[in-house]
């Protein structure tokens, strides 16, 4: 399996609910690697660019208003098959389909506020990582018996 990078973002409300650590723990416990992270506010232009594929959807206004409503925790996550692996940890987009044990299944009641974003394919991961991070902000740290653990 190939090492991949994916863009993952804890959506507004996660900081206010004090559950960022709990969600990061699931990503870490799985064995995925956080290689970039920052807390930030998203402006309207970035929100509309990020979600451009949904521009014609009826929920687009609601989505961009929500995503700009408070700080998000933006990350790049690396690991074997990371794109699909993180999507599985997140669970289904629609919260009524998100199974218990998944992040959305356990923490979200409304599809419009489904807690976490994760890239859905290699092309979107590359596009989204570049929207939020400069290449030098991504830290490719080593695992294993290299003196640290
Ligand atoms: P994803 O986040 O699982 O990739 P997308 O279909 O890309 O799901 O939709 C982007 C975001 O738009 C979702 O995470 C969700 O917050 C919101 N969204 C998707 N479908 C609906 C809907 O039917 N009603 C309200 N919000 C929705
Ligand atoms: Mg999506």
Residues with CB under 5 A from ligand 2 (ion): 120
Contacts of 34 (CB under 8 A, 6+ apart): 24, 27, 28, 75, 76, 77
| DSSP class of 142 | P
Catalytic residue list: 117
- pLDDT tens sequence across 85-102: 999 999 999 999 999 999
**What does the domain layout of the chain look like in residue ranges?**
3-137
Where does the pLDDT of residue 144 fall: very low under 50, low under 70, confident under 90, or very high at 90 and above?
confident
- pLDDT tens sequence across 98-130: 999 999 999 999 999 999 999 999 999 999 999
CATH number of 3-137: 3.30.70.141
C-alpha 134/C-alpha 110 separation (Å) is 32
- pLDDT tens sequence across 41-79: 999 999 999 999 999 999 999 999 999 999 999 999 999
**DSSP string of 8-51?**
EEEPTTHHHHT-HHHHHHHHHHHT-EEEEEEEEPPPHHHHHHHT
Where does the pLDDT of residue 1 fall: very low under 50, low under 70, confident under 90, or very high at 90 and above?
confident
Q: Is 111 in the pocket of ligand 1 (CB under 6 A)?
A: yes
Provide the pLDDT for residue 143: 85
Provide the pLDDT for residue 148: 56
Distance 7 CA to ligand 2 centre (A): 11
Indicate if the alpha-carbon torsion angle 106, 111, 113, 115 is positive or negative: positive
Where does the pLDDT of residue 146 fall: very low under 50, low under 70, confident under 90, or very high at 90 and above?
low
Distance 146 CA to ligand 2 centre (A): 37
């Amino acid at each position: 399996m190939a090492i991949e990078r994916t863009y993952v973002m804890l959506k507004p409300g996660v900081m206010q609910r004090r559950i960022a650590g709990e969600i990061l723990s699931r990503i870490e416990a799985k064995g995925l690697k956080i290689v970039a992270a920052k807390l930030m506010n998203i402006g309207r232009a970035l929100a509309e660019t990020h979600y451009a594929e949904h521009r014609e959807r009826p929920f687009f206004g609601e989505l961009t208003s929500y995503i700009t409503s408070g700080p998000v925790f933006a990350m790049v996550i690396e690991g074997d098959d990371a794109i699909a692996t993180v999507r599985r940890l997140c669970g289904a987009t629609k919260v009524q389909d998100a199974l218990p044990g998944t992040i959305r299944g356990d923490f979200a009641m409304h599809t419009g506020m489904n807690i976490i974003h994760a890239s859905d394919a290699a092309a979107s991961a590359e596009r989204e990582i570049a929207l939020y991070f400069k290449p030098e902000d991504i830290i490719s740290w080593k695992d294993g018996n290299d003196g640290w653990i």
